[in-house]
Structure 1
Amino acid sequence: MRALLTALAATALVVMPAATASAADGNPFTGPVGGARLGTTAVVESEGGQAPPVVKAGAWLIADIGTGEVLAAKAPHAQLRPASTLKTLTSLVLLPRLDKTDQIVGKYEDAAIEGSKVGVHPGLTYSVELLFQGLFLASGNDAVHALSNHDQGGLPATIARMNATAAHLGAFDTHVTDPTGLDADGQLSSAYDLALFARAGLARPDFRRYASTKVITYPLADNAGRYQVANQNNLLFSYPGAIGVKTGYTTLARNTFIGAATRDGHTLVVTMLNSPHGVTADAATLLDWGFANRDKVTSIGRLVTATDVARARGVPAKPRVVNRAGTSSGQDDVPIKPPRSPMHLGGTDVLGLPFWLFLLPPAGLVLFLFRPKPVVAKARRARR
C-alpha cells in the first residue's frame, strides 16, 4: 500500500499542474538560502556573546521568529529525513483548506496506516478539528491520512500542494512524498526549512493553538467513552513559555524536533534533525542560550519570507490566494488555482476567454463562403 501511495504521489507531481511546483518554482537565490554563512556542514556561530552549546543533533538551527535572524546553526541546509516534523508543512497546506466543523468517517485505510496513530477507527465519525488535534498531539498518521483524503484531490494532491508550498516559502531543501513524514524514498528536509514551516505556522492562530495544546480526549472504538491523549512535545510541560510545535521519530530519521518558546516579547524557534536522543534537554539548552545571547550576537543569516522568494523571482506582487472554498486565505499562503470550470480545453478555461474570440470561427466561415471570385476564372468563362 505504501509503495502504491508513493507512486501515486510521484505521478501527481507530473499530472496535477494546478497544485505542483513547476520549473519556475525552483530556487531563485544564487547562494545558500538565508545567507552565505549558512552553506556549511559545520557549526556556525556569530561574533559576540557566548559560544552556542554543544548538542547531539546532526543538524540544528535557532532563530528569532519575529526578526527572522538566525542566531546559530549546524549544517542548516543538510537534507535529512524529517520524520513527523514534516507534519508542520502538512498542516500549513490543510488548515486553510478544510472546514473544521466538517465530519469525516474513519476508514480501514486510515486505521491500517503504519507508524504512530491517535486512534481513528473505521466507521466512527470525527470532526476535522479533532483530527487536527490528533495530528499535532499524538502525531497521528491515521489523522493525516483522513484529513488528506478529505481535501480535494486526496492524498496525491496534498503531496503536490506540500511541495508547492515549500517552494513558495523558500524551503528548497524539502521534497515530500508522504504527508505523514514516514521514511520514504526522496523525502527530505532541513533544519532551516523546518524553521520556515514553524514560523509560517505560528503566524496562524489555529496552528499555534494546536501546537501548544497539552492534553485532549479521543473517542474509544465503540464510542462508549474517551481516552486521554497528551502532547508528545515534552518541552510544553517543562520549559517556561514553551509553545510546543512538533516532534518526530523514525528508525532512519532518528529523533527530529521543532520547539519554540516566548520570553520578554520574543519568540525563538529551535529545530533539530538526526538526533540520537535527548531532544527536549538539547532544545531547552539552545533556547536558554538564545534568550541569554539574543541581544549580544550578530545574526549569521536570516529566515527568508515568501515575499523574499517572489522578489528573487522577479514577481512584482504576491498573487491572490484561493482556498478550497474559493475565498482568499491570506497573501503568504501558496497560490492554488480554483477548481476548473466545466468547459476546459488544453489547459485553458474556455468560459474565461474573451467574448470576441468566439466570433472568429463563424466570421471566418462567412468570409470564405462569400469571398470574391477570381478575375482569371471570369475571363476564361467569357472566352468560352
Structure 2
Amino acid sequence: MKRFIGFIKKEFYHIFRDRRSLFILFGMPIAQIMLFGFAITNEINNIDIAVLDHSKDATTEEIIHKISASKYFSINQFINKESDIESVFKKGKVKAVLNFEKDFSKNLIKNHKANLQIITDATDPNTANTISNYVNAILIQYQKELNKNISIPYQIVPQTRMVYNPELKSVYMFVPGVMTIILMLVSAMMTSISITKEKELGTMEILLVSPIKPIQVIVGKVFPYIFLSVINAVVIVLLSIFIFKMPVQGSLFLLGLESILFIISALALGILISTISATQQTAMMISLMGLMLPVILLSGFIFPISSMPLPLQVISNIIPAKWFIIIIKGIMLKGVGLQYIWKETFILLGMTIFFIALSVKKYKIRLE
C-alpha cells in the first residue's frame, strides 16, 4: 500500500512541475466556457434590417416603430424601390428587408387583410428563420392590440408555454454541452499522454520492474487527475451559475456525484488511449481528433440525435458524453432525481468499468 501511495504522490509531483499541463488543465476550461458561453448563441440582437415602404401611412409607421423599438432589430436604411433589395443584401450588412405593399392601411381597413413581405438573407438559414419568427411574433402582438376590442366568433387562439427554459435562453442549451466537452477532452487528453510520456522518457522500465500491479498503475495514473478534474468541474459550475445565471434545479450533491462518474469514465478512456499509443503525439491526436468530433456531433450537444440517420443514432449510444448531457440537463434544468436518470448513470458506470478493464488488459508488462 505504501508503494501505491508513493506512486500517486509521484504523479502529483509530475503534474505540478509541468506548467504547460497545469495551464491545459485549468486555463483552457475557463477560457473555453467563457468563450463558448458568450459566443455560441442562437439568439439574435440588433440585427440590421432595411425597410421598403410603398405605403408610407400611419399603420406602416407604427409597425416599423414597434420593430425598431425591439432589442432584436435595428433599422439600417429605408429603400425606395424593389430593385435596390439585391444590392442591399450584396453589401452583407443587412440581413432582412421588410417590404410593405402599396395602400397597406387602406387594404387592412377595407379588406381586413394587408401584405408584408419578409425577405431574408438565407446564406445563414438559422438566422434567416429566426428573423422571420421574431418579426411574425411582433406582428402577432400588434394584431392583438389592434383587435382587442373586436370579437371574432369561433376564433382559436393557441397558447404556448415553454417549461424549464421559458425565456428560450440558448446559454441553457450550450453550457451543459460545453461543460461536457471540456471535461471529456481535457480529462482524456491529460491522461492519454501519461503512460506514453513514461515510454518516451525511458521511465517505463522502472514501472515494469516495480512490484506495482498493472491495475495499481492505472488507478495511480488516474487518481490525481480525478482530484484536479473535480476542481475543474466545480469552477465550471460556479461560472455557469454566477456568470451565465444557469439554474440548478436539482441536487448539487447528485450533480457532483454524476460529474465525478463522468470524469472517471473520461480519464479511463484517456488511459486506454495511452496504453495503445506509442508516443505522446499519437495519443494527443487520438484524444483530440478522435474524440472531439464524435463528442460535438453525436452527443446531442448541438444537433438532436433523433433527427440523425439510424446508423448515427446507434453509434451515438457508445459516446459517454451523450449520456452525461442527458444527466446534467435533467439535474440542472428539470430538477430530476436519480430515479429518472438511473439508466444513464448505469450506462456511464458500465462504460467506465469497461474502459478500466480494457486498459489493464492492454497494459504491456514488457517493452517491445
Same topology, TM > 0.5: no
Of structures 1 and 2, the one with the larger relative CO (CA 8 A, separation 6+) is: 1
Q: TM-score range by the shorter chain?
A: under 0.3
Compute the TM-score of the two structures, normalised by the length of structure 1. Answer: 0.23
Structure showing greater radius of gyration is 2
More strand by share: 1
More helix by share: 2
Compute the TM-score of the two structures, normalised by the length of structure 2. Answer: 0.24
